[in-house]
Amino acid sequence: MSAGRSPGQLFLDFPKAEPDSRSLIETGSYAGAVGALRRWRHWPGGQLALVGESQSGRTRLLNLWAADAGAALITGEALASAEIDEIARLSVSALAIDDADRGENGLGLLAALNLCRDRGAPVLLSGTTEPAGWYGSPLDLKSRLTAMPVAYIDPPDDATLAARLREECALRHLILPEESVNYLAQRMEPSWEAIGRVADAVAQTPGRAEGLRSARAVLVALGMDPG
């Protein structure tokens, strides 16, 4: 939203994506999704849904696509609270809708999909579950979401856990030996949510996982089986 609007300027302004400075993880659990996003010029109908669990890096991928496609950004909640006429008059060349499944109603999302279809603008939606189950109404929206192609972020494998754990530790100014990273990735709880918890525990554990004894202590402190 912007201040000091000129006459005729819409209240709802779509921001642009900021490039992420971290290297893109393109393999393992992300391979399929990254490949689909790179083929965006060939999406059927110019639309795609990106599905991944909470903390899987879904928003990061959506933002990277938005930067590549020059897309505007908005959330499902913001669309739900926007005026339908306002959405229909917006000028976009591409649109990324994060958490498209979290709006209180689907009317704004339907208006955005209609806008992109009429303008020939590609649109990427993200959510945690299959888009067919996001909204029960309007029926036109449900049928379009049901037919929309989907790209999935797969559950984390050991290699992807290691890559994400390495990132999370670096954000905490911790550089772990590869031996420790691999040890933790192979034995930690295999979930996206666990990555941040393990990185936090590394920062709080004596030795900070610089050796296998300290890495083992990290898992013990979290109640995870150190093997």
- The answer to whether position 37 is within a domain reads yes
Geometric angle at alpha carbon 75, from 88 and 93, rounded to 5°: 50
Domain residues for 213?
158-221
- The answer to whether position 46 is within a domain reads yes
State the Cα–Cα distance between residues 199 and 208, nearest whole angstrom.
9
State the Cα–Cα distance between residues 78 and 75, nearest whole angstrom.
5
Specify whether 98 is located in the same domain as 208: no
Instruction: State residue 88's pLDDT score.
Output: 85
For 126, the enclosing helix (H) or strand (E) is strand 123-127
Instruction: State residue 82's pLDDT score.
Output: 92
State the Cα–Cα distance between residues 161 and 28, nearest whole angstrom.
9
Mapped onto helix, strand or coil, the DSSP state of residue 75 is strand
Instruction: State residue 91's pLDDT score.
Output: 83
Model confidence at 112: pLDDT above 50: yes
Q: What mean pLDDT is predicted for residues 148-169?
A: 97
How many distinct helices (H) and strands (E) make up the chain? Answer: 10, 5
Q: How far is CA 219 from CA 2, 186, 199, in A?
A: 47, 11, 11
Geometric angle at alpha carbon 153, from 151 and 159, rounded to 5°: 140
Average pLDDT of the chain is 91
Secondary structure letter of residue 73 according to DSSP: E
More confident residue, 88 or 69: 69
More confident residue, 5 or 181: 181
State the Cα–Cα distance between residues 42 and 104, nearest whole angstrom.
31
Number of structural domains found in the chain = 2
Secondary structure letter of residue 19 according to DSSP: P
Specify whether 140 is located in the same domain as 35: yes
For residue 55, give both structure tokens. Answer: 């903390």
- The answer to whether position 11 is within a domain reads no
Distance in Å from the first CA to the final CA of the chain: 51
- The answer to whether position 4 is within a domain reads no
Instruction: State residue 8's pLDDT score.
Output: 32
State the Cα–Cα distance between residues 83 and 108, nearest whole angstrom.
8
For 116, the enclosing helix (H) or strand (E) is helix 107-119
Specify whether 50 is located in the same domain as 147: yes
Q: Where residue 73 falls among pLDDT bands split at 50, 70, 90?
A: very high
Instruction: Please check whether residue 99 is in contact with residue 123, taking contact to mean a CB–CB distance below 8 angstroms.
Output: no
State the Cα–Cα distance between residues 9 and 226, nearest whole angstrom.
58
Model confidence at 9: pLDDT above 80: no
Model confidence at 35: pLDDT above 90: yes
Model confidence at 23: pLDDT above 90: no
Instruction: State residue 6's pLDDT score.
Output: 34
- The answer to whether position 184 is within a domain reads yes
- Residue 81: other Cβ atoms inside 10 A: 12
What does the CA dihedral 184, 189, 190, 192 come to, rounded to 10 degrees?
A: -100
Specify whether 177 is located in the same domain as 214: yes
Specify whether 64 is located in the same domain as 87: yes
- The answer to whether position 181 is within a domain reads yes
Q: What percent of the chain has pLDDT over 70?
A: 90
CATH of the domain at 116: 3.40.50.300
Specify whether 45 is located in the same domain as 139: yes
Instruction: State residue 86's pLDDT score.
Output: 87
Instruction: State residue 210's pLDDT score.
Output: 96
Specify whether 198 is located in the same domain as 122: no
Q: What mean pLDDT is predicted for residues 180-201?
A: 98
Specify whether 180 is located in the same domain as 69: no
Q: What mean pLDDT is predicted for residues 12-27?
A: 65
